[in-house]
Amino acid sequence: MAALATTAFALFLLCVSIFSSVSAKGGFTIDLIHRDSPRSPFYNPAETPSQRLENAFRRSFGRLSHFKPTTSSSVAQPNQAESTIINNRGEYLMELAIGTPPVPIKAIADTGSDLIWTQCKPCDDCYTQTDPLFDPSKSSTYKTVPCSSNQCTELKGRCSSEGSGSGSACQYEVNYGDQSYTIGDIAVDTLTLASTTGRNVSFPKTIIGCGHNNDGTFDKKGSGIVGLGGGDESLITQLGTSIDGKFSYCLIPFASEGDQTSKLNFGDKAVVSGSGVLSTPIVKDQTRKTFFFLTLEAISVDNTKIPFSSSSSGSGEGNIIIDSGTTLTILEQSFYSELEEAVDKVVGGERVSDPQIGIPLCYKVSLSQDLKVPNITVHFTGADVKLEQQNTFVRVSDDTVCFAFAPAQSLSIYGNLAQAGFLVGYDLKGKAVSFKPSDCTKF
């Protein structure tokens, strides 16, 4: 097996060049560059593939806390903008442009987050970033949302003359589970994305957060966050009718990526069709609109089918979150134990443990040796997704291969290693996620 690093979707780099704006009608496609790719500003040539995997696995386990409800005072109150994201060295950066004239910025992007925000001048207390801060005073299309407006109320903003930003502007505050935070003004401005056609797509009057007080574990190579979740303030929701509620991505396994890029598609370009397409319903949770919930019915290991039961979902529907920002597939402990036992019976190799990685099921192999890998099928409602070896096992060192699934106390997440090599489409109007086995290098 070739060494494989993660292809998470918590961050992505969109290569932007400023050309004339075009309409989004008809759809468009943008590039995704993995954080560990030589084309990424995060690339560290001194790191080995196993070190990159180790770091990504740690982020998967750390990310669990961002999906769990909490009563901590550090979390945004009901009248504040709310989002969840892993903030410690995410996987990809998204490069977009804000304002008129357009100012390129790089921001963390995530399907598990909603608010679009960037660090802004004046910055009372900001973390250090490589790129210049966005200066809203130099954008002719920038406008704060008035504190007294109905829009401020609808966005659950707050009115206060204290703290950062403008006292007359509607303000937001977002706090994260790792104690990172952002505080600033809710505003509207033109957001510009590039497409693979070499022409820009501009979206006027996009709701953004202009952060004047931001700190925590954010990386200096990024400036803020772009939310791609299901909430009202996310980029996907705001693009709404212009993309017909559709977006898709095709993630290239890192070992195959090199200078090639994965793709993110919008609108008509995001339609997943043809032979081999499998679709499953999105189950909406009105208390957690950000996340995309699917229903996992079972997982098969060769001819052994293991039914899935969830302690966190009484009805059984909406029992797993599909998240391209989590590397591993995380399953509730009791079910994972059954799955691990079934997999181990087929593999039958020499098990080893590596506490640094934190994955329970690993095997000792040589560079020339391959494991007896079972056929694994993930049974969602209406969609039996057959996984390839690259989706289920990863070589974490010269002599160790690990199962790309791990246990959690009471939460299940379908991670990006299981999604690599599939065109994954989201149809928010049709309330469905589709999977199509694909060669993502050819998109």
Q: Please write the tens of the pLDDT for every residue from 303-335.
A: 999 999 876 664 589 999 998 878 899 999 999
Give whole-number Cα distances, 75 to 217, 244, 432, in Å.
16, 32, 30
The fraction of the chain above a pLDDT of 70, given in percent, is 73
Instruction: Report the alpha-carbon distance of residue 148 to residue 152 in Å, rounded.
Output: 7
List 31, 36, 185, 323, catalytic entry = 323
Model confidence over 84-103: pLDDT tens digits? 233 333 355 677 899 999 99
| Structural domains of the chain ordered from first start | 21-257 (2.40.70.10), 272-442 (2.40.70.10)
Which of the two residues, 11 and 378, has the higher pLDDT score? 378
Give the DSSP letter of residue 373: P
The answer to whether the CB of 132 falls within 8 A of the CB of 112 is no
Fill in the amino acid letter for 68: K
Give whole-number Cα distances, 371 to 66, 96, 152, in Å.
34, 43, 57
Q: Considering just the CA atoms, what is the radius of gyration of the chain in Å?
A: 21
The answer to whether the CB of 237 falls within 8 A of the CB of 395 is no
Q: Identify whether 110 is a catalytic site residue.
A: yes
List 36, 110, 114, 219, catalytic entry = 110
Give whole-number Cα distances, 440 to 254, 264, 358, 421, 425, in Å.
11, 11, 29, 6, 13
Q: What is the mean pLDDT of residues 10-31?
A: 46
Instruction: Report the alpha-carbon distance of residue 324 to residue 418 in Å, rounded.
Output: 9
Local structure of 138: helix, strand or coil: helix
pLDDT of residue 153: 85
What would the two tokens of residue 112 be?
């598990």
Q: Identify whether 125 is a catalytic site residue.
A: no
What would the two tokens of residue 18 be?
């400023």
Local structure of 137: helix, strand or coil: helix
Confidence of residue 378 (pLDDT cuts 50, 70, 90): very high
pLDDT of residue 42: 57
Which of the two residues, 371 and 248, has the higher pLDDT score? 248
Which of the two residues, 109 and 381, has the higher pLDDT score? 381
Instruction: Report the alpha-carbon distance of residue 230 to residue 240 in Å, rounded.
Output: 11
Q: What is the pTM of this model?
A: 0.79
Residues 6+ apart with CB under 8 A from 46: none
- Taking 50 as the threshold, does the pLDDT of residue 435 lie above it? yes
